[in-house]
Every structure is written in C-alpha cells, then in structure tokens.
C-alpha cells in the first residue's frame, strides 16, 4: 500500500512536469512502453526487483533499453534510483497512465475474461459501459483462464465480478456456512 501511494506521487509529479513541457501524450506512450516491456520481460522485472543488482547497473540497463524516451522519463529513472525506489518503475508507469487518462477525461475499463473478447462482443461491452459513465471509455481486455468463464469488469476503483470462479467461491462459502450451522 505504501509503495502504491509513493508510485501515485511520482506519477502525479511526472504528469505535472509533462503537462508543463507540453509532452504529456508522448510521456503517456513512453509509460505504456515501459509497463508493457516490464510485464512481458521476466528477466527485466526480476532485475529491477533484485536487491543484489546495483542501482547503477539497473539505470544503465533502463537507459539502454529505453534509449529513445524523453528526458523527463530518463529523469524518472534517476529520481527513482536516488530514492532507492527503482523497483516501483512498473507501478509508476501504470499510475501515470491512469492519471493521464483522468486528466484527459478518459477512463480505462479492464475486462478480464477466460478467453479473448471477439470484436463484436468487445463493442457491445464498450457500449454498455459507456452508458454507465459520462467519461470516454477505453476498453482493455485481459485474459485469465482461472476465472473459468464469465467476466470481471474493473473501472477505476469499482469492480463487478460475474465470473464462474466467483460463483464457485460464493457457493463454497454458503456450503461451508450451512455445514457449520448444521453441526451446531
């Protein structure tokens, strides 16, 4: 929780600096690149989290991997290193993206399904979510086979879980509660 709050503070500072320099959209693209690269590269993620790898090695690697990013983003690497928070880079990138979309009056709805959404179904989900909010919605589909079926929608801090796995958990709780009551 503390690291999430810290990441939000870094992200807000980055957004403010990017807006002042009129490159907020460029930094948004860079933060998406950083987030996606860290998420998809296990070795990079482990290196950033490792207490054994020295900070200057981490910074050198980041500056090599992300050589084309703006000076503001390179500055973020340095600030995180100075404050011994380089392990927060992915979270800062995610929080920046959220802050940027809020600044633009947009919101991202994350729809988690067991299999990828088809184009038609994605359009229907987007239309339904758009009815519920006054903001411009961007839909992001995450695939998680562990939900078995159904879907989980997360918009901001609200979540609606209509997954089969959630229904199984509810059924299990009810069964265990009834079993406990019958033993009394």
Q: Are 59 and 85 in contact (CB under 8 A)?
A: no
**CATH code for the domain defined by 2-102:** 1.10.520.20
Q: Write down the pTM of the prediction.
A: 0.68
Cα 141 to Cα 41, 47, 48, 109, distances in angstroms: 20, 28, 26, 8
Provide the residue ranges of all domains of the chain, joining segments of one domain with +: 2-102, 107-183
Q: Are 72 and 27 in contact (CB under 8 A)?
A: yes
pLDDT of 72: 93
The pLDDT tens digits for 67-120 are 999 999 999 999 999 999 999 999 999 999 989 988 888 888 889 999 998 888
């Amino acid at each position: 929780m503390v690291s999430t709050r810290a990441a939000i503070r870094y992200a807000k500072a980055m957004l403010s600096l990017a807006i002042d320099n009129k490159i907020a959209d460029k930094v948004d693209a860079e933060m998406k690149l950083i987030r996606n690269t860290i998420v998809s590269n296990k070795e990079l993620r482990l290196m950033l989290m490792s207490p054994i790898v020295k900070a200057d090695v981490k910074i050198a690697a980041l500056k090599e991997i992300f050589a084309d990013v703006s000076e503001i983003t390179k500055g973020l690497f340095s600030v995180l290193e100075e404050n011994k928070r380089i392990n927060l880079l992915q979270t800062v990138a995610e929080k920046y993206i959220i802050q940027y979309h809020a600044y633009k009056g947009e919101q991202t709805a994350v729809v988690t399904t067991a299999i990828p959404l088809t184009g038609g179904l994605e359009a229907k989900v987007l239309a339904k979510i758009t009815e519920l909010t006054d903001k411009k919605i961007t839909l992001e589909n995450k695939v998680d086979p562990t939900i078995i079926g159904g879907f989980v929608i997360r918009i901001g801090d609200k979540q609606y879980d209509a997954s089969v796995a959630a229904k199984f958990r509810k059924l299990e709780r009810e069964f265990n509660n009834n079993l406990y009551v019958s033993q009394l």
